Amino acid sequence: MANVMEVYQLLPKTNCKECGYPTCMAFAVALLGKEKIIEDCPPLIENPKYEKKLEKLRELLAPLMSADATETGMIIHTDKCYGCGNCVVACPVNVANDPKGTALGFGPKSGRAILMVEDGVIKCVNVEECRRFGPEKILCSACIVTCPSRAIEFV
Amino acid sequence: MAVCTGCSLLCDDIELEFEDGKISLTKNLCRKGEGRYRSLREDRLVPAVDGAKVGFDEAISRAAELLGDAENPLLFGWSNSSLEAQRIGIDLAKKLGATIDDTSSFCQGYLMEKVLRGEYPTCTLDEVRNFADVLIYWGSDPSSSQPRHMSRFSYFPRGEKRQRGYDEDRTAIAIDVRKSPTVVIAADGFFRIPPGGDAEFIEALLAALGGKIPKVKDKKMKKKILKLGSTLRKAEFGVVFPGLGLIYSLKDEIDKLTPLITRLNEVSSYKLIPMVGHYNMRGFNQTLLEETGHINRVSFKDGVEHGTQFAVTEAVNDCDALMVIGSDLISALPAAISKKLARIPTVAIDPHRNLTTDMARVTIPSAISGLEAGGSALRMDGVKVEFEPVIKSGYRSDVEILSRIMEAV
Ligand code: SF4
Residue B32 CA, closest ligand 1 atom number? 7
> What stretch(es) of chain B map to CATH 3.40.228.10?
111-272
Instruction: Find the radius of gyration of the CA atoms of chain A.
Output: 18
CA distance B375 to chain A (A): 22
Q: Is B29 in the pocket of ligand 1 (CB under 6 A)?
A: yes
CA distance A56 to A73: 20
Q: What is the pLDDT of residue B327?
A: 95
Q: What is the pLDDT of residue B60?
A: 98
What residues 45-74 of chain A have any CB closer than 8 A to a CB of chain B?
Answer: none
Q: Is B103 in the pocket of ligand 1 (CB under 6 A)?
A: no
Q: What is the pLDDT of residue B92?
A: 98
What are the tens digits of pLDDT across the range B214-272? Answer: 999 899 999 999 999 999 999 999 999 999 999 999 988 899 999 999 999 999 999 99
What are the tens digits of pLDDT across the range B16-43? Answer: 999 988 899 999 999 999 999 999 988 9
Q: What is the pLDDT of residue A16?
A: 93
CB B60 within 8 A of CB B404: yes
- B303-339 burial, b at 16+ Cβ within 10 Å, e below that, comes to eeeeeeebbbbbbbeebebbbbbbbbbbeebeeebbe
Distance of CA B289 from the midpoint of ligand 1 (Å): 26
CB atoms B27 and A117 under 8 Å: yes
Find, among B326, B332, B339, B311, the residue nearest to B366 by Cα: B326
Question: Which one of A117, A140, A141, A145 makes the best mutation probe of the B interface by having the most chain B beta carbons within 10 Å?
Answer: A117
Q: Is B73 in the pocket of ligand 1 (CB under 6 A)?
A: no
Q: Is the pLDDT of residue B298 over 60?
A: yes
The answer on A82 and A55 residing in a single domain is: no
Strands (E), B279-403: 298-299, 305-306, 321-325, 346-350, 362-365, 375-378, 384-387
Of the candidates A12, A45, A65, which is a domain's last residue? A65
Supply the CATH number for residue A102's domain: 3.30.70.20
CA distance B8 to B32: 12
**Is A40 within 8 Å of chain B by CB?**
no
Q: Is the pLDDT of residue B83 over 60?
A: yes
CB atoms B27 and A106 under 8 Å: no
Q: Is B146 in the pocket of ligand 1 (CB under 6 A)?
A: yes
CATH class of B46-107+278-368+391-408: alpha beta
Whose CA is closest to atom 1 on ligand 1? B148
Q: Is the pLDDT of residue B304 over 60?
A: yes
CA distance B151 to B35: 19
Of B27, B157, B165, the CB nearest to A105: B157
The mean of the pLDDT values for chain B is 95
> What stretch(es) of chain B map to CATH 3.40.50.740?
46-107+278-368+391-408
CB atoms B157 and A117 under 8 Å: no
State whether residue B312 is helix, strand or coil: helix
The answer on A137 and A81 residing in a single domain is: yes
Of the candidates A47, A65, A83, which is a domain's last residue? A65
State whether residue A106 is helix, strand or coil: coil
Q: Is the pLDDT of residue B306 over 80?
A: yes
ipTM of the complex: 0.92
How many percent of chain B have pLDDT more than 90?
A: 92
Q: What is the pLDDT of residue A70?
A: 63
Question: Which one of A84, A118, A125 makes the best mutation probe of the B interface by having the most chain B beta carbons within 10 Å?
Answer: A84
Q: What is the pLDDT of residue A154?
A: 80
Of the candidates A65, A93, A108, which is a domain's last residue? A65
A1-5, B84-88, B217-221, B332-336, range with the lowest pLDDT:
A1-5
pLDDT in tens, chain A (155 residues): 577 888 999 999 999 999 999 999 999 888 887 778 899 999 999 999 999 999 999 888 877 776 556 666 788 899 999 999 999 999 999 999 999 999 999 999 988 899 999 999 999 888 788 888 777 778 889 999 999 999 998 87
Q: For residue B255, what are the contacts with CB-CB under 8 A and spacing of at least 6?
A: none
Burial (CB count within 10 angstroms: exposed 0-12, middle 13-18, buried 19+), residue B302? exposed
The answer on A78 and A47 residing in a single domain is: no
The answer on A85 and A15 residing in a single domain is: no
Supply the CATH number for residue A35's domain: 1.10.15.40
Q: For residue A111, what are the domain limits?
A: 74-154
CATH class of B111-272: alpha beta
The answer on A82 and A36 residing in a single domain is: no
Of A82, A103, A104, the CB nearest to B31: A82
What are the tens digits of pLDDT across the range B362-377? Answer: 999 999 999 999 999 9
Q: Is B32 in the pocket of ligand 1 (CB under 6 A)?
A: yes
Q: Is B9 in the pocket of ligand 1 (CB under 6 A)?
A: yes
Confidence category of residue B8, pLDDT binned at 50, 70, 90: very high
The answer on A58 and A96 residing in a single domain is: no
Question: Total domain count for chain A?
Answer: 2
